[in-house]
Amino acid sequence: MTDPETLKAARVLLRRIDEHDQAVAHEEGAQRESLNILDVVFHPTNALPTLNYLTPRRGAAWVSVNAVEQGITRLAELGRAPRLLYYEGLVPPIFRQTLQDFGLQWAGESQILATTDLAVQTASVQRYVPKQAAEPRELARWWNARSEFLAGGTQRETDTSVIQRMMRRVTDGQAIYLLVEDGESPVGIASLRVQSALRSAEINAFFLASDDLDAARALMGSAMECAAQRGCDLVFIAEALSSSAWLDEYAFTALGSVVAFAARIPNKADPNERVAQLLHP
């Protein structure tokens, strides 16, 4: 059984991660309304699920079915699909069952790994030297490598608009893009979303061309160094990595999961089929 002090420390970090996510959503243009004991997060023009959802308000010990119904009604008024996100560990375990009883479907969850030990020293990887992509041509190379690592996944936007957005984030100090190459071939990429005012950074993209732990360590070491240089004392990951055992070297620990529930999508051949949503860089 986890001791109370460890649980308390984990909750403190989860609160900081929640604040980080709120700040990122605000930077992306999302607005927030308080409704009962839920917050309604929505973007006026962008229907991306990561910018339109319900979430329990801070300090809420319980969320009733009535509150969820009011929140879903509000999202419908805004032209947004029913979606609710919460951090496991910040709400009672029975909350999941409450959402299922209401008729919402589990839509996925991502484990949260975090570290506050950004000064941890690991063996340097001489073979790879990550570099920051900060100019349009470098950012385009980063984005193209991402597309390759995603097995040719179709992008919804033109390269020009994507690169312009990435460039703005770099210029504003909101993001860091890292690239590792072997000769002329990309072998790994990573990106961080930084909130300097909150002293936190999320590693929101981490892709490798193969299971090359040298490349993984080089990328992670560079990511930690960059975050520390921005004044961060918390780095977290909220996406599953293919093999995470090596993250122990960087003092990452599991804090729980961020969980998503959504409404059943009507008129589908398979009612259990769900729509995958790729994250933007």
Q: Which of 24, 22, 279, 27 is nearest to 162 (CA)?
A: 279
Query: What is the side-by-side strand order in the sheet with 234-237?
Result: 31-35, 38-42, 53-56, 83-87, 253-262, 105-115, 234-237, 200-208, 185-195, 175-182, 131-132
In a shared domain, residues 155 and 51:
no
CB hemisphere CA count around 106 (13 angstroms): 11
Beta bridge partners, 84, equal 54, 261
Question: What does the pLDDT average to over 221-244?
Answer: 87
Looking at the structure of the chain, the number of domains it has is 2
Band the pLDDT of 268: cuts 50, 70, 90.
Answer: very low
CA 35 vs CA 46, 68, 72: distances in Å: 21, 10, 11
In a shared domain, residues 155 and 61:
no
In a shared domain, residues 101 and 147:
no
77-86, 118-127, 241-250, range with the lowest pLDDT? 118-127
* Sign, CA torsion 204/207/212/215: negative
CATH of the domain at 171: 3.40.630.30
Per the CB < 8 A criterion, the answer to whether 138 and 262 are in contact is no
Name, in order, each residue with C-beta under 8 angstroms of 11's C-beta and a sequence gap of 6 or more.
Answer: 89, 90
Band the pLDDT of 100: cuts 50, 70, 90.
Answer: confident
Q: Is 121 among the domain residues? A: no
In a shared domain, residues 102 and 167:
no
Q: Is 276 among the domain residues? A: no
Letter for the amino acid at 235?
V
Assess whether pLDDT exceeds 70 at residue 176.
Answer: yes
Domain that holds residue 203: 131-250
Assess whether pLDDT exceeds 70 at residue 201.
Answer: yes
Tens of pLDDT along 32-71? 999 988 999 999 999 999 999 999 988 776 778 888 889 9
In 3-state terms, what secondary structure has residue 183?
coil
In a shared domain, residues 240 and 135:
yes
Question: What is the DSSP secondary structure assignment for residue 245, as one 8-state letter?
Answer: G
In a shared domain, residues 142 and 109:
no
Write down the pLDDT at residue 279.
33
Tens of pLDDT along 107-118? 998 899 999 998
